[in-house]
Amino acid sequence: MNHPPRTRTSGSGTRPGPRPRRLTARMRLTLSYTLFAVVTGVLSLAVVYVGMRYIPNYPLTSSNPRDRVSAPSRQEILQSLLTTSGYALALLTVVGMIGGWLIAGRVLRPLQDITGAAHRAASGALEHRIALAGPRDEFTELSDAFDEMLERLQRSFDAQQRFAANASHELRTPLAITRTMLQVAAADPDGQDWATLVARLQDTNQRGIEISEALLQLADLGNLPPELEPLDLAHTTRDALAAVQEEAAALGVTLTADCRPAPTTGNPVLLRQAAVNLLQNALRHNLPTGGSATVTTGADPDHPGRVHLTVTNTGLRLAPETVPTLTEPFLRGRGRTAQTDPARRGHGLGLAIVAAITDTHHGELRLTPGPAGGLRATLSLPGR
């Protein structure tokens, strides 16, 4: 009875068992080079032999009648040709084997470097780069593509580690605060202002819920492609402005808008969320008093054929080197430290969600520090 080949099962599924041992690629190339050389030699010999066969078989004699030495016949010449050619083919086979082995090794040497880098990457060492030197060919293109893949994997892995560490820290904070308040209340139940305690517990619990919901939203953006439809980014921005008007009034921030038509294709719910997050970021990270924020939409002046949503606000000066990191989860304008004012306190996920929404729409998010303080955030999308 025939049995199916055995497979090894891992966490990611089934993997084929050990592969049968075959000739190496270097040996196959060597044999190919040798066979080509021998076949070429045989064909050349055949052409010469056929040509000699059709030479007229005249009796060959010496031109000097006194010279009795007879010249070789055509048959003798053919026999000598075959014998000499046989030795030449044998020598050609040996030279072809040695030369093919050396040439194949030289040609396949870059693959050995790529294989070694792949084994290192499989063991978790993503910092290694091949950096294959030499002229531009298939091997250098493969090497550059592999190095680019390793670079992206390393950035993704580092970002995942930072995200996991920051997420655990952000989620642990409200839980630790809740535990402390409950321990104090349990130690002195008669000396507690229960109304204040319940209000603080509700506020802390709500903060934990908001962080969890933001994390879930950020995770969902990378899993499911959004449903796109034609829309006007100006209308979406006006809806977002209406949603943050009360918060702007409570914080004392003056909002001005110039929403010109910006036709594009996108998901209205996600783009509205992106606009709300940009506006809330501009309101909460603003001056304590007398702050302002400006919103504009329309054709992207820097990139023809695209539309933009730009939010500019006043605020503290930002170092240019810290601005690119603002899209990392849990990173705020003041670093990892949250605002003490509950009205201005965020979770550090607003711009991270905007960046994820931008990626799903094949757009571009540009962050630029203002010369006098604050931030200029531009969401650029393909026009319609």
pLDDT averaged over 10-residue windows placed end to end, the chain, 384 residues: 45 52 73 82 78 64 58 70 80 83 79 79 76 74 82 76 64 77 86 85 78 66 74 93 89 93 90 89 90 94 91 90 79 49 59 85 91 91 90
CATH class of the domain at 229-382: alpha beta
**CB within 8 A of 365, min separation 6: which ones?**
327, 351, 354, 355, 358, 377, 378, 379, 380
Residue-level pLDDT at 166: 59
The rounded distance, in Å, linking the Cα atoms of 134 and 156 is 29
Q: Which amino acid is at 8?
A: R
Q: 7 - beta bridge partners?
A: 16
Q: Which residue has the tokens 């319609």?
A: 384
Give pLDDT, residue 273.
Answer: 85
Q: What pLDDT does residue 170 have?
A: 62
33 CB-near residues (< 8 Å, 6+ apart): 96, 99, 100, 103, 104
Cα dihedral value 199, 201, 204, 207, nearest 10? -70
Predicted local confidence at residue 335, as pLDDT: 45
Please report the pLDDT score of residue 322 as a whole number: 83
Give the bridge partners for 232, in sequence order: 263
Query: What are 117's two structure tokens?
Result: 């880098």
Classify the C-alpha dihedral 61-62-68-70 as positive or negative: negative
- Alpha-carbon separation of residue 225 from 106, 269, 356, 362, 364 (angstroms): 46, 13, 11, 11, 17
pTM for this model (two decimals): 0.53
Whether 38 and 96 have beta carbons less than 8 Å apart is answered as yes
Strand partners, 8: 15
Helices within 262-326 (DSSP H only): 268-284
97-121 burial by CB neighbour count: b if 16+ within 10 A, else e? beebbeebeeeeebeeebeebeeeb
Rounded CA-CA distance 249/33 in Å is 80
Task: Look at the chain and count its residues.
Answer: 384
pLDDT at site 21: 60
Strand partners, 379: 309, 365
Residues 243 and 238: their CA atoms lie apart, in Å, by 9
Domain boundaries, the chain: 24-59+71-125, 161-221, 229-382
Q: Is 43 helix (H, G, I), strand (E, B) or coil?
A: helix
Q: DSSP letter at 327? A: G
Sign of CA dihedral 147, 152, 158, 164: negative
Neighbouring CB atoms inside 10 A of 126's CB total: 19
Closest by CA to 356, choosing from 215, 221, 167, is: 221
